[in-house]
Amino acid sequence: MSTTPPEVMISEDEIRQRVNELAEQISGDYADKGTIVLVGVLKGSFIFLADLSRRLSIPRTIEFIAVSSYGNSSIQSGAVRLVMDVRGNIEGKHVLIVEDIVDTGHTLHYLIGMMASHGPASIKTCALLHKTDSTQIDVPLDYVGFSIRDEWVVGYGLDYAERDRTLPYIGIVHPDDRD
């Protein structure tokens, strides 16, 4: 296993600035809608959600949902399984799903369906990262932090085999550095 830190793709400063912009945009869009429910997708979104939620200027509550993909962790088979549903009642509420990264789109597609089954007033989506060349299924993305190329990225909540989640920047794990 290599001990070289992952190469920087998006710096801490760039993330901070973009999260501020997203928070401002979301706060504006929901200004007259009352309290919104931010639904963070575990585990990868926890840092993004923490930063984004604290920068919003609108009333908000927090829920978490957890899913897992069948099969190898770095190859998406398209089959998604619910591990933990939201605890609070989101019926009639404005829901914003907060994802770390959208790759093929299967996870977010599944999550939108799951959330819809709870009967919210609206569902929008926010992803920090979007791998634009990997799309297999089109999902509505209302807010995107950064569009990125198809590399395995870690940091700011994202991991490779549970490593590097707490890196302050988004880094690239090259195939040679994987074990």
Helix H or strand E encompassing 10? strand 7-10
Q: Determine which residue in the list 6, 105, 120, 145 makes contact with ligand 5GP, applying CB under 6 A.
A: 105
Which of these segments, 13-21, 54-62, 116-124, 149-157, binds ligand 5GP (CB under 6 A)?
Answer: 149-157
CA distance linking residue 32 with residue 24, whole number of Å: 14
CA distance linking residue 103 with residue 100, whole number of Å: 10
Would you count residue 93 as binding ligand 5GP (CB under 6 A)? Answer: no
Q: What's the token pair of residue 17? A: 């600035």
CA distance linking residue 142 with residue 139, whole number of Å: 9
Would you count residue 76 as binding ligand 5GP (CB under 6 A)? Answer: yes
Helices (H), 8-160: 12-29, 46-55, 106-116
Which of these segments, 14-22, 24-32, 49-57, 101-109, binds ligand 5GP (CB under 6 A)?
Answer: 101-109
Does the annotation count 177 as an active-site position?
no
Q: Determine which residue in the list 95, 102, 123, 126 makes contact with ligand 5GP, applying CB under 6 A.
A: 102
Contact residues: ligand 5GP, CB under 6 A: 44, 76, 99-108, 152-154, 158-159
Active site residues: 103
